[in-house]
Every structure is written in structure tokens, then in C-alpha cells.
Amino acid sequence: MPPPPLTPVADAQARLLAQAGSVSALESLPLERCLGRILAADQHAAVDVPAYDNSAVDGYALRVADLSAVGTSVPVSQVIAAGHPGGALESGTAARIFTGAPIPAGADAVVMQEDTSAQDGHVRVLELPLRGQHIRLRGHDIAAGQQVLARGRRLLAQDLGLLASLGLAEIPVFKPLTVAVLTTGDEVVSPGQRLAPGQLHDSNSYTLQGLLQGLGMRVLRLGIIADDPTLTRQMLREAAAQADCVITTGGVSVGAADHVRAAVEELGVLDLWQLAIKPGKPFSFGHIGKTPFFGVPGNPVAVFVTWLVLVRSYLLKLQGACEVQLPLQTVRAGFTAESGSRQEYQRVRLQYQQGELPLARPFTDQGSSLLSSLSWADGLVVIPRGVAVREGEPVDYIPFRGAL
């Protein structure tokens, strides 16, 4: 009997996203605590930004019609600094004005101070202005009523600035998801403990911890489940009661010690997938009661890759985010590879050359246990299944870090 066909990655992604609801609990927070949070309501400008016509430069505000020719000199009738509105401009005069200061009524242009000479309370205009020159009009950046950010936006630093510029001190954001993380296996012990023969230290829960925190989510560390059916059932039930999502690593392969599978099937529903992905073939998704459950394979690199490719977008959607796709770039393969029946994710470093596609050099050993290769790498190259990549060809790339 031939093995059942593997599920393509794109199909699994689509099926997962289709099942992702949205946890809707809100809170109102001061702006300075909102970095990385998901906006819970569309934000509209209640005011014009800027709220008044103002000068874009240091110079002189005047009326273009008052200047007959280059070299015309007019008296300076007032000084207007930012935050200190002046009076209406007297006809035939100029107002000394500084960047950001309100344009006085009656003025229709600003001449930069570099284009003037000042003497004895007069200013000589050395370059004739155009009407509207160096004036930032009220509402030019944002008009009152305009939507500035949409519900579901994952807030960047500049978004906080934008919302502040509208006068908002507090905004509604979704409460962070709480995600329970469990590691399975009699052989696994926590860092800080000595290893007995045949044991290894839990690393997967720490990788997941960091990945979840990177999305602003809370992590409920529930430790290590030994290979015991009763204990497994009990811990999974508790996890599901306390968290918005449960993730276990290991323990859903075809091995004999697969108590997680049995427990989830008893407490809810479970789909076991054989994915066309390398690393990470055995992958499971289901629900414990109503709480979504992910069973990711135990190999450290498979945890990372399946999280990135499958779990991340699901959780972002559950958290209320609009943009849930991975950022992708194009790079040049610095290697030759043939992917076979599974889509492969290779750990690479980029060699950057100005004006050219960066060259992606692979880690020497792409084994799925090699966590060190993920620390070495700048990102992952994607090789679709059944594709032979030749050196120098463009390939998709997932960058780990951005500038913010």
C-alpha cells in the first residue's frame, strides 16, 4: 500500500486560517504601552493635522501681491513663533515667522530667511514667492474624519506617533492571547537540572516562548508532560481551561508513547496531518473542548519552522490581526538543491551586495535537530516541492529580523 499523499503546505495554511476565529476581549491602554498590540477599532481623525496653516520654514510671512519686484523691502510688523499666534497681517508688511508657527490671516506665502536680507525693521525679499509657498495647509497631513488606522493593525512605533498626533492618549487594543506551552516526553528535563542517562533538556518551550512573546502574546509555561495517559489528559484539560490556545511539542508521531494524541481525541477533536514540509512532516491541529490545539513535532528546527509557516498566522488572526502573512523577500540561491516531495525550508545567511539580489548561503547541515543552525541563520529559504534550484536562481526568503 503506498503511503497516503502528503498535504501541501499551502492547503494546510488555508485550512488553518479558515478555522481561526478571533478572540475579542478588548482593553483601553495608554499609547505608550501599545507597541506591538493589535488595534481593536478603526481610528479616525477627530481633528485636522495640522490644525492650522503653518510655516514650513523660518522666514517671513507676507502677501505676494504686496511685492512688485525682486528686491522689494517691506516693514516687519510682528514676530510669530510656534505656539504663539500673531494678529492679522497688516497690508504691505511682513511677519517674521518660525517653523511651525501659524500663518497670520492675510498672508499667502512664506519667504525663507535665506532668500531675504533684514535691516532696520524691514526685510528685503530677494526671491519672489509663489502663492502658498512654504505654507503647510491645515489638514494637509490628515483631514478630520479620515480613517488613519484600521482595526487589526499590529502597531508599530510610527503608528503610536500617528495616533498621538491626533490627540489620542488611550486606544482600544485586543487583550494579548494566552498560549499554553507544554513539552512532552519522559526523556525531557528542564534547564538547570542535571541530566540522567538518556535525558535531554527542554529547548522547545523556550523557542516557542520567544516566538510567542515576539508577537506580544502571553505564555503559560506548563512544563513537561511525562509519558503517562492520565497525567497527559489532566494537564491538557487544565491547559485548555486556562489558555486561548494550547501548543505541545513532540508526542504526536506514530510512536507507541503517543498519549497526547489519545488525550486530545478524548477531550475534543484532532486532525493528524502528514504535511509536505521539511522539516515538520507530522503535524496535528484540533480542539480541546473549544480551545484550539497544535501538536508540533519534537525536533527543534521542526518546531521553529512549523510555527513560522503554520501556527504564527493562525495565532495572529486569533489575536485579531489583519496582516497575518509572513514577510517574504527574494534572494539568490547560493547552493543547488532538489526538494523532492516536501516543501523545504533551508537555513541560510545572506551575503549582501549593493544593487544585487543578496546571495543566500546555506548552513552546512540542514538536519532538523540542529537548533544552532537557526541562531546562525539570517532567515529561511523556501524551496517548493518537486523543484530543482540551481545556484544563482531567485528563491523566496523569510527574513527573521526587520529594522524596527
Scan residues 353-382 and list those touching a copy of itself (CB under 8 A): 354-358, 367, 369-372, 374-375, 379
Answer yes or no whether residue 82 interacts with a copy of itself by CB under 8 A: yes
Distance CA 262, CA 227 (A): 12
Of 15, 122, 218, 221, the one binding a copy of itself (CB under 8 A) is 221
Neighbouring C-alpha atoms within 13 Å toward the C-beta of 97: 32
Of 15, 17, 50, 78, the one binding a copy of itself (CB under 8 A) is 50
Helix or strand run (H / E) with residue 159: helix 157-165
Q: Which stretch in 10-18, 210-218, 271-279, 283-291 sits in contact with a copy of itself by CB under 8 A?
A: 210-218
Shortest distance in whole angstroms from residue 227 CB to a copy of itself: 7
Shortest distance in whole angstroms from residue 46 CB to a copy of itself: 11
- Give the number of other Cβ atoms within 10 Å of residue 245's Cβ: 27
203 contacts 300 by C-beta, under 8 angstroms: yes
User: Could you tell me which of 266, 221, 215, 271 has the C-alpha nearest to residue 243?
Assistant: 221
Omega within 30 of 0 (cis) for the link into 362: no
Q: Which stretch in 14-22, 98-106, 122-130, 337-345 sits in contact with a copy of itself by CB under 8 A?
A: 98-106
Distances (CA, A) of 79 to 59, 65, 67, 75, 87: 10, 21, 19, 12, 10
Q: By rule CB under 8 A, what count of residues binds a copy of itself?
A: 114
Nearer CB in complex with a copy of itself: 69/404? 404
Of 208, 311, 315, 337, the one binding a copy of itself (CB under 8 A) is 208
User: Could you tell me which of 318, 324, 312 has the C-alpha nearest to residue 24?
Assistant: 318
What mask of x and - would describe binding to a copy of itself in positions 145 to 174, judged by CB under 8 A? ---xx---x-xxxxxxxxxxxxxxxx----
Answer yes or no whether residue 279 interacts with a copy of itself by CB under 8 A: no
Of 190, 242, 336, 364, the one binding a copy of itself (CB under 8 A) is 190
Answer yes or no whether residue 392 interacts with a copy of itself by CB under 8 A: no
Of 132, 255, 386, 392, the one binding a copy of itself (CB under 8 A) is 255
Q: What is the dihedral of CA 204, 207, 208, 210, to 10 degrees?
A: 160
Answer yes or no whether residue 207 interacts with a copy of itself by CB under 8 A: yes
Answer yes or no whether residue 198 interacts with a copy of itself by CB under 8 A: yes
Answer yes or no whether residue 68 interacts with a copy of itself by CB under 8 A: no
Residue whose C-alpha cell is 551586495 = 353
What mask of x and - would describe binding to a copy of itself in positions 298 to 337, judged by CB under 8 A? x-x--xx---x---x-------------xxxxx-------
316 contacts 214 by C-beta, under 8 angstroms: no
Of 13, 15, 17, 98, the one binding a copy of itself (CB under 8 A) is 98
Scan residues 227-246 and list those touching a copy of itself (CB under 8 A): 227
Nearer CB in complex with a copy of itself: 72/168? 168
155, with CB counted inside 10 A (0-12, 13-18, 19+), is buried
Of 123, 142, 288, 296, the one binding a copy of itself (CB under 8 A) is 142
93 contacts 110 by C-beta, under 8 angstroms: no
38 contacts 152 by C-beta, under 8 angstroms: yes
Of 186, 265, 338, 391, the one binding a copy of itself (CB under 8 A) is 186
Of 8, 85, 106, 229, the one binding a copy of itself (CB under 8 A) is 85
Shortest distance in whole angstroms from residue 339 CB to a copy of itself: 15
User: Could you tell me which of 303, 255, 262 has the C-alpha nearest to residue 279?
Assistant: 303
Q: What is the dihedral of CA 226, 230, 234, 240, to 10 degrees?
A: 80
Shortest distance in whole angstroms from residue 168 CB to a copy of itself: 6
Scan residues 26-45 and list those touching a copy of itself (CB under 8 A): 31-32, 35
- Number of residues that make up the chain: 404
The amino acid that residue 403 corresponds to is A
Of 71, 87, 214, 223, the one binding a copy of itself (CB under 8 A) is 214
Of 2, 4, 121, 192, the one binding a copy of itself (CB under 8 A) is 192
CA angle 56, 59, 64 (to 5 degrees): 90
| Cell reading at 369 | 535537530
Nearer CB in complex with a copy of itself: 160/267? 160
